[in-house]
Structure 1
Amino acid sequence: MTSHQPSRTHRVDESVRLFENPLLEKLSHVHPIVPLLVWGPVAIWLIARAVMVHGIGWGGMAMIGVAGLVTWTLAEYLLHRYLFHFEPKTDMGRRFIYLFHGVHHDTPQDKTRLLMPPAGALPIIAVLYLMFYTVLPYPWAEPFTGFFIIGYLVYDYIHYATHHFPMRHPALKFLKHYHMRHHFSDDAGRYGVSSPLWDLIFRTYPTKPERSDRT
């Protein structure tokens, strides 16, 4: 079924219809707790296997954990910058980008489209796991993927919180303002959500002078 890319202006908290097919439309929404319930056990299982089955020690787990989490932050940045903000030339390409990210910029406060639905995340995680399994020596791909998934979940819930919670702690407040500027001030930069690390490294932070925010 074809997807819709609405041209009218929406309220930021409105939920727009993406698919004519009711099943596909339902799958495009997700309750905030669902990714944690789906991917949390997968991450725990992969990490537990590394310790209990493969016998990886705590030192090795600490190193692979840091590697998995940092790799996630890089993947988060690259996906957001080069895929989600890609400007296609065809109608099909524009629909694809709108489905993955454009709808979020159109209605950024829609609570059911802030997190990736499992139906969309599953093939991505599967492909990434095969890549990790090919690149990393056995059995390091399993805990690496587990920590990578944890990084993804941390990102998901930081992203959700930036849109729906006040986030009074200074570090969290910084992330909230940082992401809100991406939405409402200048979307050609500030591609990190859980961390500004790669924006600093690749010089996409900031692209315009900062201004005072009361978000």
Structure 2
Amino acid sequence: MPQHLPPQTGAATVRSRVRIPLTFPDGYRADAEVFTFHGLADGAEHLALALGEVPEGGTPLVRLHSECLTGDVFGSDRCDCGPQLRESVELISGAGGYLLYLRQEGRGIGLYNKLDAYALQDSGLDTYDANTALGLPEDARDYTAAAQMLGALGVTGVELLSNNPDKAAQLTGLGITVHDRVPTGVHLSASNVHYLRAKVERTGHSIELPRLVG
């Protein structure tokens, strides 16, 4: 059985590591070394995928990717999660670093609540107002476990692959140096325009949508 340290210790250790070859639907392939952990603050089964080789003296490229069953697995066009995951694996494989796959479905509200929020979005609410209409936070994610995972891997500074300023702010507050924030591409579809626009307008995501925002 996994053994979890008390959250207040702030400590985490590597539980196991295993190599997994990855193949994406478009044929892209990458080799990952997947790490599991003991002692994460939230007790969830988060994963770290080591990809590529960090140059000597270099800083790892790191993405905190929140689990999205609908986007990552089923290819939903209502978000940009699946394309971001695919892009991140390739970019990190080239630069060297880690993809942290965090079990934070629906910005931390869970799968069923996320689908309930989708129904509210169909009636005109944006992704944030739909959450609050359900009595839930706009974004319930806490990145303490992500900082613990990086610490267990010996990582104290990162190039952060993210459009989300909150991820950088939380990691910095948790003692991880964010040397730079590298935006992902714009993965636009007819079904996610309003979702992406809300992320730009409501929470300052660095997504270049000049024709759609303003």
| TM-score category, normalised to shorter length | under 0.3
Could you tell me the TM-score, scaled by structure 2's length?
0.27
Could you tell me the TM-score, scaled by structure 1's length?
0.27
Q: Which has the higher helix share?
A: 1
Q: Which has the higher strand share?
A: 2
**Greater Cα radius of gyration, structure 1 or 2:** 1
